[in-house]
Chain A
Amino acid sequence: MSPRDLAIADLTMREAARAASGKRVDLLLVAEMVAPGSRVLDVGCGDGELLELLATTRGCDARGIELSREGVNAAVARGLAVIQGDADIDLADYPDDSFDYVILSQTIQATRRPKWVLEQMLRVGRSAIVSFPNFGFWRMRLDLLVNGRMPRTDNLPYGWHDTPNIHFCTVRDFVELADEVGARIEHAAALDGAGQKVRFNLPWGVWNLLGEQAVFMLTRKG
């Protein structure tokens, strides 16, 4: 699969980011991948920022699952349909093909069973969209190499002992996992440290190095 195939329709991210005034760039990138008017489940939806974006700008029938009470309260108060629950358990309760897209935004690294979660997402949704912090990002590598300590960044500010993020991976690791669960990579995108899209005609190894965050859209093979 060539990187060109992996690229999603070109985005003018700077414009989009400006228009959204303060919206997280990775959320905009996810929202771009979702077809208007579709049924979407956002797993680990937090206070519902992405759900609201999908409902208001894409006209989606958007639902969420969120572990934290604060997140659920905030999302319901925004008028969103959000269930308090645990992705590691609750995805099993959803029927096959009940959504067009199941989204896991910046959450896979905090799940106990990332592989199981990914399998469930592909069962429940016709497509799965996963965004995650790339541990293969050059600054992470450099931090560990130079300082000899677990890296901390603005996006990942936790110490190694109190972080909710227990299953970090790199772009390369994720591509491998996708293959293992029988998923086809439909689209992929990476954002560099400045929130800019990494050029799509670069090879995987470069993505893995330059991408601080990665977004993948997967479907079931066959």
Chain B
Amino acid sequence: MADGTASFVDIAAPELARGEADRPHSAVARFGAEAPLLLDAGGVLSPFQIAYQTYGNLNAARSNAILLCHALSGDQHAANVHPVTGKPGWWETLVGPGKPIDTDRFFVICSNVLGGCMGSTGPSSLDPSSRAPYGLDLPVLTIRDMVRAQAMLIDHLGIETLLAVVGGSMGGMQVLQWAASYPERVFAAFPMASGARHSAQNIAFHEVGRQAIMADPEWRGGRYLTEGANPRRGLAVARMAAHITYMSDSSLHRKFGRRLQDREGRTFSFDADFQVESYLRHQGEAFVDRFDANSYLYVTRAMDYFDLAADYGGVLANAFKGTKTRFCLVSFTTDWLFPTAESRTVVHALNAAGASVSFAEIDSDKGHDAFLLEEPELFAITRGFLDAAARAVGVA
């Protein structure tokens, strides 16, 4: 658990082992009938499991734990080679020995979200009552449900207070939910490129993706796993549409412009003439190889339902009333999925609640995805904020 290497876990239903969803290349925490998860949709989820990775070592005082919250298409493999794609972890630039989230000093935890497809209970997990994958029989989940499950994992790891909870985009939503739900357990909160609610425009883009999946005949009403099908095309289209929103016009232009792909001139057909087209097709294809279509429906829905103020009488400041947590938020100038105004709304609420809050808008032409990329200003702020938090609690 402490050295960051994957550990294999035996499961009870080897006949249905479909790769990572049931048999993840990471540690797994199981919660049986004695620890049911209460869901916002009503009812409970039980049994369930959360797959997670850890990096670094927990100190004797148990005061150096940092929880990373992944974004929509991420997973627990933040800083190790991904078991399916063979590529580096999604935050390997930021997390590691000597890096801003320094695994030589901090015990870093990253879990696959509830509803995901990398080993945490999700729509492709087995429904114990039917012994078949849940499909759409899994209750619709919320960000708060995901955070409740994470809190149970943190309990399971024997950690009372997290030095920091850090995450971007959907991960940032979880960070805010953590700070609102468990203020006494979060010393420092660092949401990046995120907001306290999902905007109408964002819901609209997600709906396009979901409709693409559900329009694929291979989706089979969500029962594709039991019927031996896979809605690859629908999921790829969903990913393509979403991917555009993660970039900026300028970053797309810098990368591809109007350049043609492997040809001298236009073909006057619907082939991928332009580099940007073949790039998107590649993104869609690569995503299908590692992600589950029903998980995409559930996780996007969780983001859509997220509206932290609504849970507190419509007043966002009430979500942070009396908080002792210190916050740092960052946004990026060209992010049009979670523009700076969304972060500022949170900053104003935190100010109104008298919270300790820092905020910076980072100049980047890389759009929403900037939080996943090499951004020196982001690195400097992350390092400074976490170092200061570590100093404040006496972490060496």
Contact = CB atoms under 8 A, between A and B. Distances in A.
Contact of A63 (B356, B362, B388): B356
B348 A93 contact: yes
A72 B347 CA distance: 14
Contact of B363 (A61, A69, A75, A83): A69
Interface in B152-186: none
B358 A83 contact: yes
A83 B383 CA distance: 17
Contact of A82 (B348, B358, B377, B387): B358
A135 to B, nearest CB: 33
A81 B360 contact: no
B380 interface: yes
Q: Is the interface of A mostly helix, strand, loop or mixed?
A: mixed
A95 B385 contact: no
A76 interface: yes
Interface in B332-389: 347-348, 351-352, 354, 356-363, 377, 380-381, 383-385, 387-389
Interface string B45-56: 000000000000
A168 B389 CA distance: 40
Contacts of B392: 79
Nearest to A84: B360
- Main DSSP-derived SS at the B contact region: helix
B381 A98 contact: no
B131 interface: no
Given A69-B361, A73-B380, A84-B359, A79 B385 contact: yes
B381 A81 contact: no
Nearest to A99: B354
A23 interface: no
B328 interface: yes
B391 interface: yes
Contacts of B23: none
Contacts of A35: none
Given A73-B360, A77-B381, A77-B387, 16 more contacts: A61-B356, A63-B356, A63-B357, A72-B360, A73-B380, A73-B384, A76-B328, A76-B384, A77-B383, A77-B384, A77-B385, A79-B389, A81-B326, A81-B357, A82-B358, A83-B347
10 smallest CB-CB distances across A and B, nearest first, come from: A79-B388, A77-B384, A83-B359, A72-B360, A81-B356, A93-B348, A76-B358, A84-B360, A81-B358, A76-B381
